[in-house]
Chain A
Amino acid sequence: MLSRMPSSEHDLDLATVKVETKTGEFSYACSSDETLLAAGLSAGFSLPYECATGTCGTCHARVMEGTVDPGWAEAPGYRTLRRDKGDVLMCQARPLGDCSLRVKSSVVQPQEPIAQTLERTGRVEVVRRLTKDVVHIEIALSQPMNFVAGQFVTIQHADLIGRRAYSMVNFGRDVERLSFVIKRKPDGKFSEIAFERNLLGADLQVLGPLGRATFRPEEDRDVLCIAGGSGIAGMMSILQHATEVRYFDQHRGHVFFGVRTLSDMFYLEDFAKYLAAADVGLDVTIALSDESEVPAAHPDFERIHLATGMVHDVAARTLTAGQWANAIGYVAGPQPMVDSALKVLITQAGIGPGSIRFDKFS
């Protein structure tokens, strides 16, 4: 079954991609300028992926017939693949004609098709410095996007090889402008452009929405978030959505946000706004790893708790087993922090592995 019919303009470029999976066979149309992953996800198939940026290797497939351009050959994810067997990363590869693939996963087509393209262009229209090494940027999209709180997109800049994954700070239907937090990373090429050159007005390729670390109010669960640095982005979208539906009138939430020092904190006004709207249902604790002594509450925003230490250690000290049995745990940040936070959620907060959501970007 072809789930997406060729559009008139690109008929000649459209390849039919057949996919054999653990749960059966299906096919979809893919143009020569789309990746195998993007076209398959657009058609509504739950192809496996995590980072969508060529790093993790989760989206690997074996090309059984036809020719496929593997794309970025130096992608870190290619190092562990059997190129001699025809293995490709679907997030990088594009079809050069009809082809057939094997994907070693269970793949389903959800009842509700995505019904939107994943590939867009966007222009950076806002760049706002939040701290010495964090900026808030907003990208105006060529076509509006529907996405859920907690999702991410990948971004490609014309001057750089490969894509970067960023979680949106906002969420919604028919969203015309995406907001992100970008933290300067040592040797980070995209963050170098954001900090050293002027990103304002830059045209970018935007692919998404992606990711499964989503918040849906109808799930009716408490919310526990542990984030480090720019990992707070997805948590802000969760707080925005929860606040809009007055979620914390009926549920509890606690956001643990880790930064180094008092001068590294950002989005304080936003936290204060969400806390004021939530009354007692929501707590926000900012963990400061490089401070030795801080007041228990922020001097200007008294509803924000402050604590010293690594964010997962602060969460471990604060969380009591049994109190969060009904919660979904969300985690985002640098890899070592994510690993430690997952252990805290399972062992300290008593949250089952099936109730924890995070997207790996590396």
Chain B
Amino acid sequence: MSWKQVCNAADVPANTLKKFVTGGVSLVVANYDGTFRALPPVCPHMEEPLEESGVIANCVLTCTKHLWAWNLASLDTLGEAEKPLQSYETKEEDGKVFAFIDKEIVYEFDEDDGDDDDDFFSR
């Protein structure tokens, strides 16, 4: 429940994503033009691992599985995306990347057992 160091800034080259485990929490760090953002490690659409399917160009993260996309600075949804991208608060200090991990961010997916009729439209 605090700022935790995830990686060194040099570990994630510009416009790439890399997966890390910090205090038992899996996340990916996105480097968009030198700014870092720590994210849950999967696409909110169909749990596709972002380290494999995510690409970054022009400040936009795209999951190439179905072209869901988000602006990494504003977190606006773009393209085909129908769900917001969630993010940990992230900062860079002295060449190190920190994320504020209060609790693990977990997306809910359609295949969850709790998918009953009442929440059919809520996801």
A interface residues (Cβ-Cβ under 8 A, vs B): 22, 62, 64, 80, 82, 85, 102, 104, 106, 339, 342-343, 346-347, 350, 352-354, 356
Q: Is the CB of B79 within 8 A of A85?
A: no
* Closest A residue to B81 using CB positions: A353
Nearest 4 CB-CB pairings of A with B: A353-B79, A342-B64, A353-B69, A353-B62
Q: Is the CB of B62 within 8 A of A346?
A: yes
| Assembly CA distance A337 to B15 (angstroms) | 21
User: In the complex, what residues of B have CB within 8 A of residue A339's CB?
Assistant: 53, 64-65
Nearest chain A CB to B45 CB, angstrom units: 11
A-B contacts, 15 of them at CB < 8 A, read A82-B115, A85-B115, A85-B116, A85-B117, A104-B120, A339-B65, A343-B55, A343-B64, A346-B62, A347-B56, A352-B79, A353-B60, A353-B69, A353-B78, A353-B79
Residue of B55, B57, B58, B120 with most partner-chain A CB within 10 A: B57
Q: Is the CB of A354 within 8 A of B120?
A: no
Q: Is the CB of A346 within 8 A of B57?
A: yes
14 additional A-B pairs beyond A350-B57, A352-B58, beta carbons within 8 Å, are A22-B121, A64-B117, A82-B115, A102-B121, A104-B123, A346-B64, A347-B15, A347-B57, A350-B58, A352-B60, A353-B62, A353-B69, A353-B79, A354-B79
Q: Is the CB of B64 within 8 A of A354?
A: no
Is B110 an interface residue when CB atoms closer than 8 A count as contact? yes
Give the A-B contact count at a CB cut-off of 8 A: 52
Is B80 an interface residue when CB atoms closer than 8 A count as contact? yes
Nearest chain A CB to B13 CB, angstrom units: 12
* Closest A residue to B123 using CB positions: A104
Nearest chain B CB to A345 CB, angstrom units: 9
Nearest chain A CB to B12 CB, angstrom units: 15
Q: Is the CB of A353 within 8 A of B67?
A: yes
Nearest chain A CB to B84 CB, angstrom units: 15
Q: Is the CB of A102 within 8 A of B120?
A: yes
* Closest A residue to B69 using CB positions: A353
Nearest chain B CB to A64 CB, angstrom units: 8
* Closest A residue to B79 using CB positions: A353
Nearest chain B CB to A46 CB, angstrom units: 13
Nearest chain A CB to B62 CB, angstrom units: 4
Nearest chain A CB to B56 CB, angstrom units: 8
Residue in A22, A104, A352 whose CB lies within 8 Å of B110: A104
Is B111 an interface residue when CB atoms closer than 8 A count as contact? yes
| Assembly CA distance A102 to B111 (angstroms) | 16
User: In the complex, what residues of A have CB within 8 A of residue B82's CB?
Assistant: 106
Q: A62-B120, A354-B78, A356-B67 are in contact. Are A346 and B55 (CB under 8 A)?
A: yes
Q: A82-B115, A104-B110, A339-B64 are in contact. Are A353 and B120 (CB under 8 A)?
A: no
User: In the complex, what residues of B have CB within 8 A of residue A347's CB?
Assistant: 15, 55-57
User: In the complex, what residues of B have CB within 8 A of residue A352's CB?
Assistant: 58, 60, 69, 78-79
Q: Contact string, B99-120, partner A, CB cutoff 8 A, digits 1/0?
A: 0000000000011000111001
User: In the complex, what residues of A have CB within 8 A of residue B117's CB?
Assistant: 62, 64, 85
| Assembly CA distance A59 to B110 (angstroms) | 13
* Closest A residue to B52 using CB positions: A339
Q: Is the CB of B55 within 8 A of A80?
A: no
| Assembly CA distance A339 to B62 (angstroms) | 12
User: In the complex, what residues of B have CB within 8 A of residue A346's CB?
Assistant: 55, 57, 62, 64
Nearest chain B CB to A83 CB, angstrom units: 13
| Assembly CA distance A342 to B79 (angstroms) | 14
* Closest A residue to B54 using CB positions: A343
Q: A353-B60, A353-B67 are in contact. Are A104 and B78 (CB under 8 A)?
A: no
User: In the complex, what residues of B have CB within 8 A of residue A85's CB?
Assistant: 115-117
* Closest A residue to B15 using CB positions: A347
Nearest chain B CB to A25 CB, angstrom units: 12
| Assembly CA distance A339 to B57 (angstroms) | 16
User: In the complex, what residues of A have CB within 8 A of residue B64's CB?
Assistant: 339, 342-343, 346
User: In the complex, what residues of B have CB within 8 A of residue A62's CB?
Assistant: 117, 120
Nearest chain B CB to A313 CB, angstrom units: 16
* Closest B residue to A344 using CB positions: B55
